[in-house]
Amino acid sequence: MLKVAVLVSGGGTNLQAILDAVETGRIRNAEVVAVISNNPQAYALERAKKHGIPAVCVSRKACGSGEAFDDALLKAIKDSGADLVVLAGCLVVIPEKIIQEYRGRIINIHPSLIPSFCGTGYYGLKVHEAALERGVKVTGATVHFVDEGTDTGPILLQKAVEVKEGDTPEILQRRVMEEAEWVLLPKAIDMLANQEEKG
């Protein structure tokens, strides 16, 4: 059974997609063992509690220095016993010591088809604003492994989503979530949980 820790900063819609997929059997041989947020107000923590999953807040403010925050975040992940760390709308730049400790075991969902509209400064609505400004006809989402760069790790899965006439960043964001993010992230976790069964 693959133990998964989900890191979130906000509402946790991707977390909800994961929890639903575990409950309906679309994610097999995996369980969410902790939800960790850097934001004490994150609704994702409530979602975790409703599902009986430990909800942990590690806030930079409470920790003081960056180093103390990095250590506290690493400790929270280790304490959860997680085999896989999933970044689901996590706005924290993952510290190098965590990447080294969990190399090849951290995945992130990004709301574009990498290498388009990714890297430093591209997160949340900013990604969709940039896609609309550029006039692309197709966007989407990417699940990738996390390395020391921003959105630079090996790509695991991608799914394209059509950009429609009259889209606003908010409408496009919602479509990318519904058609790509909420499909890909559960699929990626299921893949990783079940390839280990074979090997």
pLDDT interval class at 113 (50, 70, 90): very high
Q: CATH: 1.20.1250.20, 3.50.50.60, 3.40.50.170, 3.40.50.12780. Which one for 2-198?
A: 3.40.50.170
Could you give the strand order of the β-sheet that contains 84-87, starting from the edge strand earlier in sequence? 55-57, 30-37, 2-8, 84-87, 106-110, 138-145, 155-162
For 17-39, how does the pLDDT look when each residue is reduced to its tens digit (9 = 90+)? 999 999 999 999 999 999 999 99
Domain coordinates in residue numbering, the chain: 2-198
For 169-189, how does the pLDDT look when each residue is reduced to its tens digit (9 = 90+)? 999 999 999 999 999 999 999
Please state, for a pLDDT cut of 70, what percent of the chain lies above it.
98
pLDDT interval class at 66 (50, 70, 90): confident
Q: Is the pLDDT of residue 199 over 80?
A: no
CA-based nearest residue to 190, from 45, 28, 70, 47 = 28
Backbone angles phi, psi at 164, to 5 degrees: -110, 155
pTM: 0.95
- Within 10 angstroms of residue 114's Cβ, the number of other Cβ atoms is 20
| Positions marked active-site | 110
